[in-house]
Structure 1
Amino acid sequence: MRVKKVLALGLAAVMSAAALAGCGSDSKDNASSPSASAGAVEDTSPVTFKYYHFGQGRKDVLASETTIGKELQKQTGVDVKMEFLVGDSGTKAGVMIASGDYPDIISASGEMAKLLDAGAYIPLDELIEKYGPNIKRVYGSYFNKMKAKDGKIYTLPFTANQGFIAEPDPGTAFWIQRSVLKEFGYPKITTLDEYFDFIKKYKEKYPKVDGKDTIGFMVSAGVNNNFFTLQNPAAHLAGYPNDGGVMVDMKTNEAKIYAGTEYQKKWIKKLSDMNAVGLFDPESFTMNKDQYLAKITSGRVLGFFNYSWQVGDAFKNLKKAGIDEKRYAPLPIVFDKSIKDQYIDPPGFVSNYGVGISVKAKDPVRIIKYFDNMLKEENQILTSWGIKDQTYSVDDKGRFYYKDDQAKYHEDPDLSLKFGFNYYTEWPKYGNNSVLKDGNAYAPGNQAEVASALYTDGDKKILEAYGAKTFSGYYNKPDERKWFPAWSIAIPQGSPEQIFTTKSDDLQKKYLSKMILESTDKFDATWNEYITELNKLDKKTYEATMNKAIQDRIAGKW
């Protein structure tokens, strides 16, 4: 549920709560437009806006070509041309800023800080006050966390939970192919050494899959902006959740970077050892996203670390294929059995992932009204559950569930795109852990009736073997972390802290892959060289800033 790591980029959310009225006096309301005129009849004339999302994996589409988009068009007259990233996000953001050629609507992901600094977004405060009753209902309690340094709101985040319900299936894991578990009688695998021991034994027994080499383990460090999937495991293995580049001590609330720690050394050394015996895929540093997902669905890969939001389509395709043994089971792997796993995220709020209106938008009022209409609860049900009796059903107790083949609209990637579910995940919305007014889960996957009904016989066999009703059932529950997630703490562009994160990442990209792929007898020398270079950076300033922000969040100041 995004959750993902963004190293110190985003909105500064440090202002105290304030009423919206009077904020953002330079908001571009486009007051001369018909839709902004006081007392005017609601404008539902046809209009098409351009939306750009700095994320990959989906084809460009006209919203009205999806069922959800068509329904929203009927309500508002608004259609949206959705375009998605191809290539490098930083390059795209740079070109967009240099040219000043912005779409009407931008969902910027990790590039938001750059676009904010460039003045790409308009403030939304006055628009929300005039035209956003549903925006205020959904985001009102989060407004103080959404404000930029100037006290204004520029984007609407995706994590505004309305109540809270935990996910039955974990989104973060060391994934293992189910054939490995079945082969060895569903053993309890807890530590990193155990995990690789079973993968090694299985690969030795089954070195080929359909004539091609079995792949023991891989990461997605070659995928655009995904290097954190090689960095983050060190913290997870040590018993920490995804707080970005830092680990926060639960007793002292002190944050320290994990780059260069013994935790990182132990993790990277393990991959180096696995590479030496042919268990690590060297293409982990060169393959693109399509190649990475293709390997997952090929049946050749025995294990990998990742967040489920990055591999969801591959998992759906594997389930659709019906070969349960080639699907994957999540494991909360740690360094040793004394460590309490913390893979499941505690409740949190992320302000630097959201959608906003650009300075080039031709009618901000129509757009904010489109946003507000989308946040009506019936439309949140539409974008998440779909249409009653078509994509979900309601029992005599008012509980939502999937009847007959209704799950296919959510489970099948092609049908999900055609209906629009996969296109309406990065718009103004409830947080994924929300609860609807009638008690149903906002996200179908969090509904107990849906989760249990969608479990295959293979799922049930694994759960029975591990004594759990859901896959989260054999994970530890998350500890409360009032600052969570630390990766959403704002660091200004060009600041010493931002320079540190950039240079630290560059060093890790240079040295971590080298240590993994070169011969093991060179590991210590390369590690020492890496530490020497890392120690030249100003990590004290970065850690001090993070600690100040964490203490502020604990005190209720965002």
Structure 2
Amino acid sequence: MKRKLFVIFLSCLLLLSLAGCKEKTNVSSNKNPSSVDDKTPFTFTYFNAGFSKKNIDANQTRIGKIFEEQTGVNVKMEFLVGDINTKIGTMIASGQYPDVIFPDAGIDKLLDAKALIPLNDLIDKYAPNLKKLYGPYLDQLKTDDGNIYLLPSGVPQGYVPNPDIEQGAFWIQRRVLKEFGYPKIKTLDEYFDLIAKYKEKYPKTDGKPTIGFTALTYDWRFFTISNPPAHLAGYPNDGEVIVDMKTHEAKVYGNGEYTKRWLKKLNEINAAGLFDKEAFVSNYDEYLAKIASGRVLGFFDYGWQVNQALNALKEAGNDDLRYMPLPIVFDKNIKDQYIDPPSFASNRGIGITVSAKDPVRIIKYLDNMAKEENQKLIMWGIKGETYEVDQNGRYYRTPEQIQKTSNEEFREQFGFTYFEWSWPRGTGLLSDGNAWEPSRQPEVAQASYTEGDKKILQAYGAKVFSDLFAKPDERPWYPAWSAPVKQGSPAQIYQQKKQDLQRKYFPKLVLDPPSKFEKNWKEYVKEYNKLDIKAFEDEITKYVKMKVEQSKK
């Protein structure tokens, strides 16, 4: 009798064990779910729609290989070639997606197509490091249905100002400033007058025509030519709106006097032979190559977007052909606001698609990446190789390490280029008090300056380049462009039609003879005012006021 009871007891234990195993295997979705400690070889596919880089397997880089050793996971990385809307549209039409995607401006289309899976349960069950990294921002990542579909890069962990300019600026070639004794220029008129004087004096660069001013208009990057009016008027990059500091009302400026003044100036410099005739037809790579060639005297852009060309010029070693960022405004009495205040953009990030074969292995890979020691690896590299630590625990780089980590070929091989953005990562301060990004560590910024950098900073009475720019005013909503605008809503339709309208009219407004400017502008504004501007302004104002109220809690 005892033996029979013992057998029954063992049978129950076995059944309970099997039931427990069955429960565990169902938690990650129904697609070949993995156990919690699985480190068997696994590869997932990743597509980045925001950047153009060469396709690569992550384990071909130093960082990717280390992550593979830690997790057993490799990543097959693919980057955008051509038009983002065409690429995303093809995916949606076929129903076939990469396992993981950084959709950038294509996010609304993917959400509308239900191409991304909710991450809430995966984060709760498998991602303690992601929960720690995103902390109080997790609720802000939720869409209207309560789900989290994206994990953004750059989640704030305190605020550290950047010694250099990674955001917007009017860039001018240093040889122009040098030629005229490093004049202090503040207004748009002064900026273009200086460029005109130099181009007249030196019409050619290395035997080719010198380009006075170029602009980036390609694909979703069109904002590089549509955003300057707000910056020139003394506002930061809130996208398509200017937000009143007192009422927190958001108003579009695409049909207003600031935009007219900007385009009229471009029209004038075009008539004077200063504007790049290819600006409205060049793609992103051609634009970068043009700047890296040293033929361009000036342009407006965001440091992060043009950094590849700026690094190439630095590596070439001719400081005269490098660029100086300036906080140019319309009038001398305007306080510039180019430098971003503390911010968190929740409408860009990385997501797992419905095609993913094993969401658990993927979320665990992302969670491993979120560990602080791996965040240091992604941003700083390896102690003794790409950075050092002084007796006070401060991170720094030797001149040799600065040179090495600025080299694009090394950055690609090590993996900085592939991992430092578009993946889960923080910004601000690490737990030991060092800056998350080396570029924000004053010791690194100042040590990385060339003799040419030091000379031009001294000429303008500055220690770092951001000293030339005004400190940012507090804007709890910033950036307003991160407001979630639902696909197919009146606000989203306004955005799309507005973009189409500007792509049609901006070339005419800039390239047509000055005698046609007023006629073209009136026609443009007439068409613009037919759009549902109020729906868009109301949507953004609602978001801004919500963020302001959140900041008071």
Does TM, scored on the shorter chain, surpass 0.5? Answer: yes
Do residues 452 (structure 1) and 451 (structure 2) align? Answer: no
After alignment, is 492-501 or 233-242 more displaced? 492-501
Q: Aligned residue for 1:526?
A: 520
Using the alignment, how far apart are the partners of 2:215 and 2:495 within structure 1?
21
Does structure 2 retain, via aligned residues, the 8 Å contact 1:332–1:341? yes
Q: Aligned residue for 2:530?
A: 536
1:87-121 deviations in Å (ceiling 9; x for gaps): 11001111101111111111111101111111111
Does structure 2 retain, via aligned residues, the 8 Å contact 1:28–1:364? no
Using the alignment, how far apart are the partners of 2:388 and 2:30 within structure 1?
43
Using the alignment, how far apart are the partners of 1:405 and 1:94 within structure 2?
45
Going from structure 1 to structure 2, the CA distance change for 1:45 and 1:408 (only over 3 Å counts) comes to farther
Q: Aligned residue for 1:69?
A: 64
SS of structure 1 residue aligned to 2:155: coil
1:319-398 equivalences in 2 (<5 Å): 319-398=314-393
Using the alignment, how far apart are the partners of 1:497 and 1:131 within structure 2?
37
Going from structure 1 to structure 2, the CA distance change for 1:129 and 1:321 (only over 3 Å counts) comes to same
SS of structure 1 residue aligned to 2:425: coil
Query: What's the TM-score once normalised by structure 2's chain length?
Result: 0.93
Using the alignment, how far apart are the partners of 2:422 and 2:517 within structure 1?
45
Using the alignment, how far apart are the partners of 1:100 and 1:409 within structure 2?
43
Does structure 2 retain, via aligned residues, the 8 Å contact 1:161–1:430? no
Question: How far apart are residue 408 of structure 1 and its match?
Answer: 3.1
Do residues 439 (structure 1) and 433 (structure 2) align? Answer: yes
Structure 1 counterpart of 2:138, which letter? F
Question: How far apart are residue 544 of structure 1 and its match?
Answer: 1.5
Could you tell me which runs of 5 or more consecutive residues in structure 1 were left unpaired when the two chains were aligned. Answer: 1-26
Aligned counterpart for 2:488 among listed residues 494, 502, 521: 494
1:281-300 equivalences in 2 (<5 Å): 281-300=276-295
Aligned counterpart for 2:479 among listed residues 480, 485, 495: 485
Going from structure 1 to structure 2, the CA distance change for 1:91 and 1:146 (only over 3 Å counts) comes to same
After alignment, is 104-113 or 407-416 more displaced? 407-416
Question: How far apart are residue 30 of structure 1 and its match?
Answer: 3.1
Aligned counterpart for 1:225 among listed residues 187, 195, 220: 220
Matched-pair identity in %: 57
Structure 1 counterpart of 2:212, which letter? G
1:132-189 deviations in Å (ceiling 9; x for gaps): 1101101121011100111111111112111111111122100000000101111111
1:516-537 deviations in Å (ceiling 9; x for gaps): 1010011001111111111111
Do residues 248 (structure 1) and 243 (structure 2) align? Answer: yes
Do residues 429 (structure 1) and 424 (structure 2) align? Answer: yes
Q: Aligned residue for 1:471?
A: 465
Structure 2 counterpart of 1:544, which letter? D
Do residues 104 (structure 1) and 108 (structure 2) align? Answer: no
SS of structure 2 residue aligned to 1:256: strand
- Count of residue pairs brought into register by the alignment: 526
Do residues 176 (structure 1) and 175 (structure 2) align? Answer: no
Query: Which structure is larger by alpha-carbon Rg, 1 or 2?
Result: 2
Going from structure 1 to structure 2, the CA distance change for 1:32 and 1:256 (only over 3 Å counts) comes to closer
Using the alignment, how far apart are the partners of 1:290 and 1:550 within structure 2?
35
Q: Aligned residue for 2:44?
A: 49
After alignment, is 100-109 or 536-545 more displaced? 536-545
Question: How far apart are residue 34 of structure 1 and its match?
Answer: 6.1
Question: How far apart are residue 410 of structure 1 and its match?
Answer: 2.2
Using the alignment, how far apart are the partners of 1:121 and 1:289 within structure 2?
28
Using the alignment, how far apart are the partners of 1:138 and 1:153 within structure 2?
15
Q: Aligned residue for 1:200?
A: 196
Does structure 1 retain, via aligned residues, the 8 Å contact 2:171–2:300? yes
Q: Aligned residue for 1:216?
A: 212
Q: Aligned residue for 2:507?
A: 513
Does structure 2 retain, via aligned residues, the 8 Å contact 1:162–1:431? yes
Does structure 2 retain, via aligned residues, the 8 Å contact 1:28–1:122? no
Going from structure 1 to structure 2, the CA distance change for 1:423 and 1:236 (only over 3 Å counts) comes to same
Structure 2 counterpart of 1:216, which letter? G
Q: Aligned residue for 1:160?
A: 155
Does structure 2 retain, via aligned residues, the 8 Å contact 1:102–1:360? yes
Structure 1 counterpart of 2:63, which letter? I
Do residues 555 (structure 1) and 549 (structure 2) align? Answer: yes
Specify which structure has the bigger relative contact order, considering alpha-carbon pairs within 8 angstroms and separated by 6 or more residues.
Answer: 1
Using the alignment, how far apart are the partners of 1:246 and 1:92 within structure 2?
28
1:461-496 deviations in Å (ceiling 9; x for gaps): 111111111110110000001111000111111111
Using the alignment, how far apart are the partners of 1:31 and 1:131 within structure 2?
16
Does structure 1 retain, via aligned residues, the 8 Å contact 2:31–2:358? no
Structure 2 counterpart of 1:213, which letter? P
Question: How far apart are residue 437 of structure 1 and its match?
Answer: 0.8
Using the alignment, how far apart are the partners of 1:28 and 1:269 within structure 2?
59
Could you tell me which runs of 5 or more consecutive residues in structure 2 were left unpaired when the two chains were aligned. Answer: 1-25
Q: Aligned residue for 1:261?
A: 256
Does structure 2 retain, via aligned residues, the 8 Å contact 1:160–1:430? yes
Using the alignment, how far apart are the partners of 1:31 and 1:289 within structure 2?
41
Using the alignment, how far apart are the partners of 1:274 and 1:431 within structure 2?
42
Using the alignment, how far apart are the partners of 1:213 and 1:170 within structure 2?
28
1:18-167 equivalences in 2 (<5 Å): 29-30=28-29, 33=32, 35-36=34-35, 42-167=37-162
Does structure 2 retain, via aligned residues, the 8 Å contact 1:236–1:343? yes
Query: What's the TM-score once normalised by structure 1's chain length?
Result: 0.92
Using the alignment, how far apart are the partners of 1:302 and 1:408 within structure 2?
26
Using the alignment, how far apart are the partners of 2:408 and 2:221 within structure 1?
22
Do residues 303 (structure 1) and 298 (structure 2) align? Answer: yes
Using the alignment, how far apart are the partners of 2:229 and 2:135 within structure 1?
36
Do residues 238 (structure 1) and 233 (structure 2) align? Answer: yes
Does structure 1 retain, via aligned residues, the 8 Å contact 2:33–2:359? no
Does structure 1 retain, via aligned residues, the 8 Å contact 2:42–2:74? yes
Does structure 2 retain, via aligned residues, the 8 Å contact 1:28–1:123? no
Using the alignment, how far apart are the partners of 1:550 and 1:32 within structure 2?
40
Does structure 1 retain, via aligned residues, the 8 Å contact 2:173–2:324? yes
1:419-476 deviations in Å (ceiling 9; x for gaps): 10010033443333x2111111110000011000001111111111111111101100
Structure 2 counterpart of 1:291, which letter? E
Going from structure 1 to structure 2, the CA distance change for 1:201 and 1:119 (only over 3 Å counts) comes to same
SS of structure 1 residue aligned to 2:339: coil
Using the alignment, how far apart are the partners of 1:34 and 1:331 within structure 2?
53
Question: How far apart are residue 33 of structure 1 and its match?
Answer: 4.7
Q: List structure 1 runs of 4+ shifted beyond 4 angstroms.
A: 31-34
Structure 2 counterpart of 1:356, which letter? G
